[in-house]
Every structure is written in structure tokens, then in C-alpha cells.
Structure 1
């Protein structure tokens, strides 16, 4: 049983890193630190009043668990340093975090074993928090994310992440940026239908190459969205009805469904307001299952339609005439090429 009020982690010193094989370095960024470390986790704190990075030599290579208390606003691996040495988060306790931007990025041996939740009440950015943390897979649905505005790249290439097999029921009401959030999450397929996306403007690449994802997100509020380019690029199995989305402010749909072999909008017409879209380059490239009537789309502002339906052998506009006004088009090359 761990002591209260301490952030506790476990590290393996002889994993690859910038410190030697018997040492670890705790990575920080900026100021505002005043923390203590109990290096052998015996309840007696060995170093007091640390204000930045600290390196400790355990003298013998091995696996060590230690505690941090005091003011420790951020941990910041940022794809560098001893990111491969940290192997477990064991306890969050009440440490007041100020940012999770790139906190555990490329911590490729990190597992989540904590049974409590972090205090994220002062956090607005979770950008790249677990990006490239390739074995991380814990149910983190109890986290309070109500103040977070940026979740871009949060789970980028976390190839094992599936939220511990549980729905990911977060409060996302303040989030404006979800770009590349689940990019290359090869097994993630959990229910996120209840997310409040009413403030999200940027959906760029959100599910790009999310190869297992096929959840019903048709009820999302997308009224503020401006960018949906590459949103489902390479999301091979996704096939849900998203025709109710408000796309009236979206200007970019480049490669939105590129390579989505299964996508056919759940077998329903895709009746979107596309009046603001300027670029449809590669939009349905290789989307071999798509064949819905989209003749009612307003494409009068779109300039680039090149390769829009390239290699989409099934597309026949649902058997209806495609009577678009392409008055602004400057590039229609390879639009229907198979």
C-alpha cells in the first residue's frame, strides 16, 4: 500500500536512455518546481527542494519504485531522455498537474497500474500525452478532463490502447482540438458516443489509420468544426451513419475517407451541408464501399476535386445523377479515375 499525497512511479534503469544503466533522470520543463524524492520508497525523503531535472544513481541496475511529493507541476519526456526507463505509473494521488503536453510521449515501456486518478483541474493541454506509448492500455475513463482544450495527438500510435476494454466516457466539453487524437491506434474501438464535441473546430486526422474503430458517433455536435481533412483516412472498418453532422463551417475535407474500404455511411444517404468546403482532394480515394447519393451537396466554393473518387470502383452516386455546380473548380483531374 502506497503513502498518500505522493506521485509514485516505477523505472527500469538498464532500459535504453540518456543516463547510465544504473541511473534515471526525472524530466521537467520550465519553472515552478519544489519537490522531494524518496528514492527507495521507504517513507524517508532523500532529496529535498528540487527545482528542475534530477538524476539519481542507484549503483546497481534494476527496477526501482520511488515517490515524489511537493510541487511537481509537469513531467515532460517529450520523446527524449529516459522515456524508455519508466515502466509504470503506480499512484497519481493529489499532485496538482498544470499540463500533460508531451508528458509520457514515446514512453514505450509504460504501463498504467494506478487505481486512482490524476488531478487535472489545472490542465488545458493533453497534447501528445501518450503519443508513442505503445504498450499503454488502462481504463482511464474516470479522469476529469473538463478543463482540457487540446487533445491533439493524445493517443498517437499507442498501438495497444483500447482503454482497458472499457468505454471512454470523458467530459470533452471544452476541447477545441482533437486533431490526430487516435491516429494509428490500431486496436482502439470503444464507445465515445457521449462525448461533447460542441467546441471542437479541428478534427484533422482524428481517426486516421484507427484500423479497428467502428463506433456510433453520429450524434456528435460538429457545429463549430472547420477542418475534417483526413479524419477517417485509413480507418478501414469504419461504417457508421454520420449524416446528421453539422458540416456547415467545414472548409477542408481533403482525404477525409481515403482508404476507408468499408465506409458507406451505414447504408444511409450522406446529406451534408458542404457549402463552405473549398477542397475535396482525394476525399473518397480508394473508399471502395462508398456508393451513396451526394448530388444535393453544395460544392460551389470547392476548387480542387482532383482524384476525389480515384479507385472507388463502387461509386455510382447511389444510381442517381450527380448534378453539381462546379463553377469554382480549378482542378478536376482524375476525379473518377479507376
Structure 2
């Protein structure tokens, strides 16, 4: 479908959910639509690969749900003036799934009021060009930030003022991004999942992250698997971390080739999976004799190609 709809009167519409989902040819001008009554815009242009029209005049002030709004579309237009103050779900708004489709989105969003949002999970996943200032966002209600900048290769902005005190999941937060900014002030005390937070997948993308994290309260964390995998610059002191609730630390320092800090006092007594922990961590050579590994079920390649 790719027909003109500019004169359609949608002023009574409450939902336009999935309206152009998988309409791979659609790229018509609908910027004059009156969507002021719409509360649900989930997946409106999801997988509408061709769509990139001016929607700056849309009134989104009643909308509650933006889940997958532009997922896998070519959208890269101005939306700074949108009123998103009631939106609670921004899962994957500007994301893509990869393969042959990558989001080109790189527009200013600094004035968006996201204070009602509960999830920004995967919001910029595979938005390879995105590198805009969003450090002033009020994310104090957000509980899920997993995959937020996963494979957002260009992203490296100051987020030090973000209030992460309600967040439960950081899974793959900055995976394969260029992020290397101060986050020591973040309250991570409720986060249970830190899988791959500062990791990368290799190939041409290697995490440059090397910022202080000594004051992070990780006492609620259950998994730190691959947290610093391929973070080749990382070498910060984290020996005081309370990892007593962690059960999975597989790949945590795998190919973190610079890391060589004292972590011998870590309480790893609950850990069941230690596979590939120091795999190709070429620099690491610290005393771990005090580690209680009595619950561990897997040591597969624990020190493979490390010192």
C-alpha cells in the first residue's frame, strides 16, 4: 500500500496502532492529520521500511503508548515539538532489528518530557547514527533500560544527571556503543541484571568504556555476565563491589584486555556459572585465593589465554 491519505479525517480516532505495520512501500504525506484524540500509537510505522515524512505538526499530547513506533523504518524527521508527557511506554521507538535495516534516526530530542515513562527499553537499539543530547531527560520513573543503546554505534553523550534509582534492568545498556562518559553518580541499587552493560560484540566495534564505577551499589544484582566483555580499555577499581547476590558472572571480563584490578575480596559464594570469566583477559593477574566457588557448576575456559 502506498496511496495518498492526506485528506483522511482521523480526528475521532482513539488508536492508530499498527496502522502501517509492514507497509513496506508506504511513504505518503500525512503530517496534516489531526491525531489529537489518539492514545495508542504502538507500531504505527513498524517495518514500514520506506517511511520518512514530516510529522512535526502531530498533536501527541493524549498518547500513552509509543511502543515500536518507528521500529525498522527510515524515519529521520523533526519531532522535538511533540508532547510526549503522558507516554508511559517508549520501547524501541527509534530502533531496528538489524540485518539489512538500520535506523537512520538522529534528530534532537532534548525537550521531550519523558517523566511519565516506565520503559525506554531498546529505544535506540541499532540507531547507528543517533548521538543527540538527552542528558536532561527525567527518567526517574523508568524501570527498564535494557538494550537502550544496544548497537547505537555513534552514541556518546553525557547522561550523568539521569535518575536511575527505580531501574531494575541494565541488560546490554551500552552494548557495542561508543559510550565513555561519567556514570559514577548513578543509583543502580535496584538493578538485578547487568548483562553486557559496557560490552561489545567485536568485529569493528569495541567498547571504549573506561570510567570510574567504584561507588556503584550492585548488591541487588543477580547477573553480571559479559558486563565488560571486549571493553578493551576498561581498568577501573571495582574491588569493593558487593556481588554477594550474583549467580552468573560468565564472560564478565572476557577479552577485557586491559583489566588488572584487585577483586579478590568479592563474595562469589552464590555464583553457579564462571565460564569464560577471564577468557583472553591478557593483563589480569590477581590473587583470587579467597573466592568461595563451592556453588559453581561451570568453570569452562575460566582463564583461557589469560595470564
Equivalent runs, 1:15-34 vs 2, <5 Å: none
- Between structure 1 and structure 2, the one with the greater Rg is 1
Match of 1:120 among 22, 30, 35: 35
Q: Following the alignment from structure 2 to structure 1, what is the Cα–Cα distance between the partners of residues 183 and 172?
A: 19
- Please identify, of 183-192 and 243-252, the stretch whose mean Cα deviation from structure 2 is larger: 183-192
Distance 1:171 1:214 in 2: 21
TM-aligned CA deviation for residue 94 of structure 1: 5.7
Deviation, structure 1 residue 314: 1.1
Of 222, 237, 241, 1:303 maps to 222
- Structure 1 CA distance, aligned partners of 2:254 and 2:10? 58
The structure-2 alpha-carbon separation of the partners of 1:313 and 1:120, relative to structure 1 and needing over 3 Å to count, comes to: same
Partner of 2:277: none
**What are the superposed Cα offsets for residues 1-22 of structure 1, whole Å, 9 maximum, x if unpaired?**
xxxxxxxxxxxxxxxxxxxxxx
Residue 292 of structure 1 pairs with residue 211 of structure 2: yes
State yes or no: 1:140 paired with 2:140: no
- Whether 1:108 aligns to 2:24 is yes
How far apart are 1:204 and its partner, in Å? 1.1
Q: Name the residue aligned to 1:180.
A: 92
Structure 1 stretches lacking a partner, 5+ long: 1-84
Deviation of residue 115 (structure 1)? 5.4
Select which of 73, 82, 100 maps to 1:170: 82
**For 2:103 and 2:36, how far apart are their aligned partners in 1?**
30
Cα deviation per residue 1:77-114 (whole Å; 9 max; x = unaligned)? Answer: xxxxxxxx234332344642120110111111111324
Structure 2 residue 190 is matched with structure 1 residue 276: yes
Structure 2: distance between partners of 1:274 and 1:115:
40
Distance of 1:241 and 1:278 partners within structure 2: 24
Whether the 8 Å CA contact 1:87–1:109 is kept in 2: the answer is no
Q: Does structure 2 retain, via aligned residues, the 8 Å contact 1:91–1:113? A: no
1:215 is aligned to 2:127: no
2:5 to 77, 89, 92: 89
Distance 2:42 2:31 in 1: 23
Tell me, yes or no, if the aligned pair for 2:11 and 2:37 is still in contact at 8 Å.
Answer: no
CA RMSD between the two structures: 1.6
2:77 corresponds to 1:157? no
2:244 is the counterpart of 1:332: no
- Name the structure 2 match of 1:230: 147
- Shift, 1:325, TM fit: 1.1
Q: C-alpha distance in 1, partners of 2:135/2:185?
A: 13
SS in structure 1 of the partner of residue 66 of structure 2: coil
> Any conservation in 2 of the 1:291–1:314 contact (CA below 8 Å)?
yes
TM-score by length of 1: 0.69
Structure 1 residue 321: Cα displacement: 4.9
Counterpart CA distance in 1 for 2:66 and 2:30 is: 21
Mapped contact 2:146–2:169 kept (Cα < 8 A): yes
Deviations 1:114-154 (A, max 9, x none): 452x2223211100001111111112121110111100000
Instruction: Give unmatched runs, 5+ long, in structure 2.
Output: 97-101, 201-205, 256-307
Match of 2:44 in 1: 129
| SS class of match (1:86) | coil
Deviating beyond 4 angstroms after TM superposition, the runs of 4 or more aligned structure 1 residues are: none
